[in-house]
Chains A and B, each alone.
Chain A
Amino acid sequence: DIVMTQTPLSLSVTPGQPASISCKSSQSLLFGDGKTYLYWFLQKPGQPPQPLIYAVSSRFSGVPNRFSGSGSGTDFTLIISRVEAEDVGIYYCMQSVQFPLTFGGGTKVEIK
């Protein structure tokens, strides 16, 4: 199984400041079609995970452009360019290059 490791465990950010979350996979997430199957989700209390980023760096429909993703192979980063109060919650990375799909342990983002 592919292990997904996120850092940091938690982050406290001043509104308007940037935030960065790292995600590392134990194997390459590059598939034979040339796409890298790395995803980012945000989960707010009492809600299902909401999709943010697919295939490393593309935003799902409706996701604000302050969210961006980068990386390749086994090393990935989610950046929030200017954190807003509504961005609080737990962020998860996930791989779907092979079954079982696996999630990172999560990064809790709070507002200072």
Chain B
Amino acid sequence: EVQLVESGGDVVQPAGSLRLSCAVSGFTFGDYWMTWVRQAPGKGPEWVATINPDGSERYYVDSVKGRFTISRDNAKNSLYLQLNSLRAEDTADYYCARYFRAETPYYRLDCWGQGTLVTVSS
């Protein structure tokens, strides 16, 4: 069974930092592009960042560039999101999701974690 389990969400003050983790199981993690998507309270989903299988390519939404860093450890079957210089508008549920693998590039975002809540507040 495919599982993605996020952790690391917390209440943090503006300008603070957090590291989110996503532990995966049930599939060959190193074959997949992976993605973080967030959802602010009462709003729709917003794509945050994507990383390729070997970590050499990373893409970010403009609003987090220079502040957030996506990374992965294929040996540990884990995806990460480092959040720095946090702002109130970063308050959201953060979901990790399996993006796609090379053999089926159009079969995207088929599995999601349950999310971890980040609250930025003084």
Contacts and interface: CB of A to CB of B under 8 A. Distances in A.
Nearest to A101: B47
A77 to B, nearest CB: 19
A99 B50 contact: yes
Contacts of B108: 37, 39, 54, 96
B106 A49 contact: no
Interface size class of B (residues with CB under 8 A): 20 to 34
Give the dominant DSSP class at A's interface: loop
B44 A100 contact: no
B47 A48 contact: no
A86 interface: no
Contacts, number: 61
A104 B115 CA distance: 20
A105 B39 CA distance: 12
A28 to B, nearest CB: 15
Contacts of A35: 105-106
A49 B45 contact: yes
Interface in B1-59: 35, 37, 44-47, 50, 59
Interface of B: 35, 37, 44-47, 50, 59, 61-62, 95, 97, 105-110, 112-115
Given A39-B109, A49-B37, A49-B109, 14 more contacts: A35-B105, A41-B109, A43-B45, A48-B112, A49-B45, A50-B112, A51-B110, A51-B112, A61-B110, A94-B109, A96-B108, A100-B47, A101-B35, A103-B46
15 contacts: A37-B106, A39-B108, A43-B45, A48-B97, A48-B114, A49-B95, A49-B112, A51-B110, A54-B106, A55-B107, A96-B108, A100-B59, A101-B35, A103-B46, A103-B47
